[in-house]
Amino acid sequence: MCKEYGYIRVSAKDQNEARQIVTFRGLGIPEKQIYIDKISGKNFDRTNYLRLIRKLRKGDCLFIDAIDRLGRNYSEILEQWRLITKVKQVDIVVLDMDLLDTRQKGKDLTGRFISDLVLQILSYVAEKERINTRRRQAEGIAVALANGVHFGRTKKEIPDNFNEIVGQWRNKELTLDEALQTLSCGRTYFYKTVKELGI
């Protein structure tokens, strides 16, 4: 017998699974068939999601509240969509977007075709936005650099007496702490600079 499942993903900060649980209960999905992960959507390495995928059988139907509950990376979402709908032959219904409903009406494949098409368009739009964001960032950095803005830490200038102090430290005329105090620097900078200068 075909079963209906619900999948919920919330981040640690976004604790709103209660609303989604109520929605799924309203659809008649039993609580034991609602799977919840409280984790970032950056990838699909999620305990309960993987458990749900193993449970799904041909003809079942998976409900999710919104496409971003599935994940944030659209290329990975497309791969999971293909796994669920094509390999496992399970329907997906995205509740906040009517067009993302693969359920077939009789022998009509329109529902699956339209939802696959919409998902591809969403993926394209998301990827274009990522590219545009990176381009805008690069343009902003280029303008800032042209205006003399420096990024990152300013490189500390090597004190004029650095070699002399290192020599005194090596000859045991100064302790390391005395050398650091005289040069007004920390151990990491001291050793790194000694190495860079090959002293």
Q: Which residues contact residue 58 at a Cβ distance below 8 angstroms, ignoring those fewer than 6 apart?
A: 88, 89, 90
Return the pLDDT at 33. 97
For residue 62, the one-letter residue type is L
For residue 116, pLDDT over 90 is answered with: no
CA nearest neighbour of 115 among 71, 78, 70: 78
| Model pTM above 0.85 | no
Calculate what percentage of the chain has a pLDDT beyond 90: 35
11 labelled catalytic: yes
Catalytic residue among 11, 40, 75, 123: 11
Work out whether strand 4-10 and strand 34-38 pair parallel, antiparallel, or are unpaired: parallel
Q: Which residue has the higher pLDDT, 114 or 54?
A: 54
Least-confidence region, from 51-55, 65-69, 70-74, 80-84: 70-74
pLDDT surpassing 70 at residue 5: yes
CB-based contacts of 69: which residues, under 8 Å, 6+ apart?
7, 8, 9, 10, 20, 41
3-state secondary structure of 111: helix
pLDDT at 8 over 90: yes
- The SS3 call for residue 90 is coil
- The pLDDT value recorded for residue 197 is 84
Residue 90 corresponds to which tokens in the numbers above? 């399970």
Q: Which sign, positive or negative, has the C-alpha torsion 166, 172, 176, 180?
A: negative
